[in-house]
Chain A
Amino acid sequence: MLLSLPALHLQTSEYHPLFQLPHGRLGPWCSPTGSPAPLSCETGCGEGSWILVYRLLVPTQVSLLSMEEDIDTRKINNSFLRDHSYATEADIISTVEFNHTGELLATGDKGGRVVIFQREQESKNQVHRRGEYNVYSTFQSHEPEFDYLKSLEIEEKINKIRWLPQQNAAYFLLSTNDKTVKLWKVSERDKRPEGYNLKDEEGRLRDPATITTLRVPVLRPMDLMVEATPRRVFANAHTYHINSISVNSDYETYMSADDLRINLWNFEITNQSFNIVDIKPANMEELTEVITAAEFHPHHCNTFVYSSSKGTIRLCDMRASALCDRHTKFFEEPEDPSNRSFFSEIISSISDVKFSHSGRYIMTRDYLTVKVWDLNMENRPIETYQVHDYLRSKLCSLYENDCIFDKFECVWNGSDSVIMTGSYNNFFRMFDRNTKRDVTLEASRENSKPRAILKPRKVCVGGKRRKDEISVDSLDFSKKILHTAWHPSENIIAVAATNNLYIFQDKVN
């Protein structure tokens, strides 16, 4: 489906200076001020001129509003900010991904839409201003479908987006819902041909009798238009729900993983795929383990890993056999007997697995921890970070309200020195692997004052609660940060909090 949208070039206010923390490598995270344009992402507040909660309106309507007076726009936007009734479930962001240069940021939502943001070119006049992210393109990637055989709906929710490396002027990305993967081409058009012989300027066919001369159409400049077109549709290859897609380093193939199978595709071929992993038992009653995530090695195109609901990671080499049911490496940490409970298996289920940029490590996220594994050591992780261990005593409640099944993602920074993951109450956590320092931050409009740096948050576990601390029982479990992304080379992060997208940058001198 084509949705042409003029690229919005928005005004931005001047960049503001920030405080520097006296020590520690993790700089203060702040929300830079930004433009009042409605579709840009909220980056904390600046002077009350901020956006929001994005995607409250269809893009075209909102862009019309932004063309009018700025002051009115601010007022309108602020009122949308406060009026939560506009937020619908379809606006819940379900995936966030930077492209390989960090120039583009894509988000997918529960309504099957993809919104791509583009970083503004840094202006040479204003040296201190960092590029802001503005809406570049919006399109409907997937529509809801109905499986007639099972009488069930197939959700249009975008589970994952993965970018392809840029090879020409156009951008390509893969987006997937539960059943179908699509390759989208996003390209710019700033010229259009004029002077056709058979069509007039509006595209209507001319009466042949009136054509008396011949001319060659010429390309004339036009307003920049960004088009998204589906180039490939990879369908009907998954019986179960797709949870991961991963582009191979050969840029010719990619894999899609569902609960029980992993398929290998060639980008050019949509009507067949290779099944490379199949853990479906002959007797479904014997099923006790499912695949939860999968990823290709960043450099070795024959290697990939997949994680399971039992807390194990398998590394497979496609050169070994066509069907990689026998792993090359098997990563599992022995259970800690002192922490055993009814919920041990459930909280050990891995919700995300990510290779480091170097390809030497993998990071896994289970319900309470993030673990870093060295590919050369299978018997235990080299690092374990507690994300929210205070939830260990609440597991029964979290089981009952299904929160224990929440799938948190985790990300590396560009240099693999810091890892980040989300938590509840709109908190997200960062762990510096070198200094072993960690910080908890909150992505919330209410707490972001204009020109302020994000204040580290703390959860108080018991005993006396200090001022500014929040007690475990006051945590809002409906506000969960499942999806985050880190710019590939800079300290810019994107955090999805339900239907809000936050972009934070660290301070620059």
Chain B
Amino acid sequence: MLGKGEKRKFDEHEDGLEGKILSPSDGPSKVSYTLQRQTIFNISLMKLYNHRPLTEPSLQKTVLINNMLRRIQEELKQEGSLRPVFASAAAAAAAAAASPPSGAPGGPKPEDPKLMDSLPGNFEITTSTGFLTDLTLDDILFADIDTSMYDFDPCTSASGTASKVAPVSADDLLKTLAPYSSQPVAPSQPFKMDLTELDHIMEVLVGS
């Protein structure tokens, strides 16, 4: 999969963050890599749910974005970054680890039928209930979501590690996000708060 232990080379063109693959195992670049992955994950989610086209969205685009999300989810799973917030979630995680084939495609399950066949606008109803039923991947999805980006006050959380990482990419998007990022390993929040925050975020995104 992604990441093979290559060291990121310093490079004049400043394409380090995007051009070469970063290994999650390197120390200081691990956060950059995680940050990049997080960014791409967020962008992908926004792409899938953020627009209401009058015409059917392109299936090719949807499939490619979906594959991107799945890959990131797989990677997160393999890194073992599951952070169960409920005891039951932990049990579910163990169960999912034991049966990986069903877990992986099941992740986007609430999303897929919606993506492929139904209207893009039904998001609020289907996915919030859908996510409730699959707690394991909920943790992956929501725990890692950087919701501070959507807050209107600048995030001043303990982003010490992130702020120490000098932005290495010429990519403006990442530079914009760097000061706003929270740590990928943020302390776990109550699951309930995540849900209401998510609802709020989705309302903002969907523009309702």
Query: Which residues in A have some Cβ–Cβ distance to B below 8 Å?
Result: 147, 150-155, 178, 240-241, 259-260, 283-290, 292, 309, 337-338, 340-342, 345-346, 349, 392-397, 399-400, 402, 405, 461-463
Contact B55 A152 (CB under 8 A): yes
| Of A178, A285, A292, the contact of B108 (CB 8 Å cutoff) | A285
- Give CA–CA (A153, B39) in the complex, Å: 32
Closest to B11 in A: A393
Contact A341 B109 (CB under 8 A): no
- Give CA–CA (A311, B99) in the complex, Å: 30
| Of B59, B113, B169, the contact of A285 (CB 8 Å cutoff) | B113
Contact B19 A346 (CB under 8 A): no
Instruction: Convert B6-50 into 0s and 1s, putting 1 for each residue whose CB lies closer than 8 angstroms to a CB of A.
Output: 100000111101111100000000000000110110010001000
Q: How distant is B3 from chain A, measured CB to nearest CB, in Å?
A: 9
| Of B18, B59, B71, B174, the contact of A259 (CB 8 Å cutoff) | B59
With a cutoff of 8 Å between Cβ atoms, the chain A residues found around residue B20 in the complex are 338, 341
With a cutoff of 8 Å between Cβ atoms, the chain A residues found around residue B36 in the complex are 342, 396
- Give CA–CA (A155, B56) in the complex, Å: 9
Contact A345 B68 (CB under 8 A): yes
Closest to B43 in A: A400
Contact B116 A287 (CB under 8 A): yes
Contact B56 A396 (CB under 8 A): no
- Give CA–CA (A402, B65) in the complex, Å: 11
Give how many B residues have a beta carbon under 8 Å from the other chain's beta carbons. 48
- Give CA–CA (A240, B60) in the complex, Å: 10
With a cutoff of 8 Å between Cβ atoms, the chain B residues found around residue A400 in the complex are 43, 173
Instruction: Convert B49-69 into 0s and 1s, putting 1 for each residue whose CB lies closer than 8 angstroms to a CB of A.
Output: 000011110111101101110
Contact A462 B2 (CB under 8 A): no
With a cutoff of 8 Å between Cβ atoms, the chain A residues found around residue B113 in the complex are 284-285
Contact A342 B40 (CB under 8 A): yes
With a cutoff of 8 Å between Cβ atoms, the chain B residues found around residue A399 in the complex are 40, 43
5 closest A-B pairs by beta carbon, nearest first, are A393-B15, A285-B112, A259-B59, A284-B116, A393-B19
With a cutoff of 8 Å between Cβ atoms, the chain A residues found around residue B47 in the complex are 402
Contact A241 B56 (CB under 8 A): yes
Contact A153 B40 (CB under 8 A): no
Contact A461 to B13, CB < 8 A, known contacts A342-B68, A396-B18: yes
Contact B37 A342 (CB under 8 A): yes
Q: Is B94 an interface residue (CB 8 A)?
A: no
With a cutoff of 8 Å between Cβ atoms, the chain B residues found around residue A284 in the complex are 112-113, 116-117
Contact A397 B60 (CB under 8 A): no
Contact B59 A290 (CB under 8 A): yes
Instruction: Convert B74-108 into 0s and 1s, putting 1 for each residue whose CB lies closer than 8 angstroms to a CB of A.
Output: 00000000000000000000000000000001001
Q: How distant is A238 from chain B, measured CB to nearest CB, in Å?
A: 12
- Give CA–CA (A394, B19) in the complex, Å: 8
Q: Is B132 an interface residue (CB 8 A)?
A: no
| Of B6, B64, B105, the contact of A405 (CB 8 Å cutoff) | B64
With a cutoff of 8 Å between Cβ atoms, the chain B residues found around residue A309 in the complex are 60, 63-64
With a cutoff of 8 Å between Cβ atoms, the chain B residues found around residue A337 in the complex are 4
Q: How distant is A149 from chain B, measured CB to nearest CB, in Å?
A: 11
Contact A393 to B54, CB < 8 A, known contacts A288-B67, A289-B63, A345-B64: no
With a cutoff of 8 Å between Cβ atoms, the chain A residues found around residue B54 in the complex are 152-153
Q: Is B145 an interface residue (CB 8 A)?
A: no
Contact A396 B40 (CB under 8 A): yes
Q: Is B171 an interface residue (CB 8 A)?
A: yes
* CB-defined A-B contacts under 8 Å, sample of 21: A152-B55, A283-B105, A284-B117, A285-B112, A287-B112, A337-B4, A340-B21, A341-B20, A342-B2, A342-B40, A342-B72, A393-B15, A393-B171, A394-B18, A395-B18, A397-B171, A397-B172, A400-B173, A402-B61, A405-B61, A405-B64
With a cutoff of 8 Å between Cβ atoms, the chain A residues found around residue B59 in the complex are 240-241, 259-260, 290
| Of B67, B71, B72, B173, the contact of A396 (CB 8 Å cutoff) | B173
Contact A393 to B170, CB < 8 A, known contacts A341-B18, A341-B21, A462-B12: yes
With a cutoff of 8 Å between Cβ atoms, the chain A residues found around residue B173 in the complex are 396-397, 400
- Name 12 extra pairs, CB < 8 A, besides A285-B108, A342-B71, A345-B67: A152-B54, A154-B55, A288-B63, A288-B67, A341-B18, A342-B36, A392-B15, A393-B14, A396-B18, A396-B171, A396-B173, A402-B47
| Of B39, B56, B68, B109, the contact of A150 (CB 8 Å cutoff) | B56
With a cutoff of 8 Å between Cβ atoms, the chain B residues found around residue A392 in the complex are 15, 18-19
- Give CA–CA (A178, B4) in the complex, Å: 41
Q: How distant is A148 from chain B, measured CB to nearest CB, in Å?
A: 13
Q: Is B119 an interface residue (CB 8 A)?
A: yes
Closest to B19 in A: A393
With a cutoff of 8 Å between Cβ atoms, the chain A residues found around residue B64 in the complex are 309, 345-346, 349, 405
- Give CA–CA (A405, B47) in the complex, Å: 12
Q: Which of A349, A400, A402 has the most CB of B within 10 A?
A: A400
- Give CA–CA (A345, B39) in the complex, Å: 17
Contact A340 to B2, CB < 8 A, known contacts A393-B13, A396-B18, A405-B61: yes
- Give CA–CA (A345, B119) in the complex, Å: 26
Contact B174 A396 (CB under 8 A): yes
Contact A462 B18 (CB under 8 A): no
Contact A393 B18 (CB under 8 A): yes
Q: How distant is A339 from chain B, measured CB to nearest CB, in Å?
A: 8
- Give CA–CA (A340, B17) in the complex, Å: 12
Q: How distant is A82 from chain B, measured CB to nearest CB, in Å?
A: 32
Closest to A151 in B: B119
- Give CA–CA (A400, B41) in the complex, Å: 11
- Give CA–CA (A259, B57) in the complex, Å: 12
- Give CA–CA (A342, B61) in the complex, Å: 15
- Give CA–CA (A286, B116) in the complex, Å: 11
With a cutoff of 8 Å between Cβ atoms, the chain B residues found around residue A150 in the complex are 56, 119
